[in-house]
Amino acid sequence: MSSSSSMPSLLTRQLAETHLSNNNFLESRSTIPRLLHPYTAPIFEYGRTSGLTRFIVDGLTELAYRPFFFLKFGPKSLSRTHVETLSYGPDPRQKILLLTPQNYHSSHPPTSSNKKTLLIFTHGGAWGSGSPSFYLPLLSTYASLGYTVALLGYRTYPTSTVSGQVSDVHSAYLHLTHLFPDLPCILSGHSSGSHITLLTILRYDLKVTFLGLSGVYDMLSHFRYESKRGLEILSGLQPAGGYINDNLELNSMKGSLTGVNHSSFIFVHGLEDFTVPFTQSYNASYCLKNWGCDSRVVYLDKCDHMGAVIELMKGCGERWLKNDIELTSKL
**Where is pLDDT greater, at 2 or 278?**
278
How confident is the model over 227-248, as pLDDT tens digits?
A: 777 777 777 888 888 888 888 8
What pLDDT is attached to residue 67? 73
Kindly state the percentage of the chain with pLDDT values over 70. 77
Q: Are 62 and 130 in contact (CB under 8 A)?
A: no
Asked if pLDDT for residue 225 goes beyond 70, the answer is yes
Overall size of the chain counted in residues: 331
Kindly state the percentage of the chain with pLDDT values over 90. 43
CATH number 3.40.50.1820 given to 3-322: yes
Kindly give, in sequence order, each residue whose CB lies less than 8 Å from that of residue 125, ignoring residues fewer than 6 positions away: 57, 131, 156, 191, 192, 193, 236
What pLDDT is attached to residue 24? 42
How confident is the model over 271-308, as pLDDT tens digits?
A: 888 889 899 999 999 999 988 999 999 999 889 999 99
b/e sequence 172-194, b meaning 16+ C-beta within 10 Å: bbebbbeebeebebbbbbbbbbb
How confident is the model over 129-152, as pLDDT tens digits?
A: 888 988 998 998 999 888 999 999
Asked if pLDDT for residue 331 goes beyond 70, the answer is no
What pLDDT is attached to residue 11? 47
189, 190, 193, 194 alpha-carbon torsion, rounded to 10°: 60
75 three-state secondary structure? helix
What pLDDT is attached to residue 238? 85
Asked if pLDDT for residue 267 goes beyond 90, the answer is yes
What pLDDT is attached to residue 58? 74
Long-range pairs of 321-330 with CB within 8 A, sequence gap ≥ 24: 321/186, 321/209, 321/211, 321/266, 323/5, 323/296, 325/3, 325/4, 325/5, 325/298, 326/2, 326/3, 326/4, 327/4, 327/5, 327/6, 328/2, 328/3, 328/4, 328/301, 330/2, 330/301
What pLDDT is attached to residue 95? 96
**Where is pLDDT greater, at 85 or 35?**
85
What is the pLDDT averaged over residues 170-178?
A: 96
Backbone torsions φ then ψ of 298, nearest 5 degrees:
-110, 120
What pLDDT is attached to residue 33? 54
Half-sphere exposure of 282 (CA within 13 A, CB side): 20
Bridge partner residues of 196 (DSSP):
none
What is the pLDDT averaged over residues 160-187?
A: 95
Per-residue DSSP letter, 118:
E
**Where is pLDDT greater, at 179 or 75?**
179
**Where is pLDDT greater, at 1 or 42?**
42
Bridge partner residues of 300 (DSSP):
3, 270
Q: Are 309 and 64 in contact (CB under 8 A)?
A: no
How confident is the model over 26-73, as pLDDT tens digits?
A: 444 455 555 555 556 666 665 677 777 777 877 877 777 777 776 677
**259 confidence band (pLDDT: 50, 70, 90):** confident
What pLDDT is attached to residue 151? 96
Lowest-confidence region among 7-16, 94-103, 234-243, 277-286: 7-16
**Where is pLDDT greater, at 120 or 254?**
120
What is the pLDDT averaged over residues 64-92?
A: 80
**256 confidence band (pLDDT: 50, 70, 90):** confident
Asked if pLDDT for residue 263 goes beyond 70, the answer is yes
Nearest residue to 316 (alpha-carbon basis) of 265, 268, 264: 268
Q: Is the dihedral of CA 169, 263, 10, 299 positive or negative?
A: negative
Asked if pLDDT for residue 313 goes beyond 70, the answer is yes
Bridge partner residues of 138 (DSSP):
none
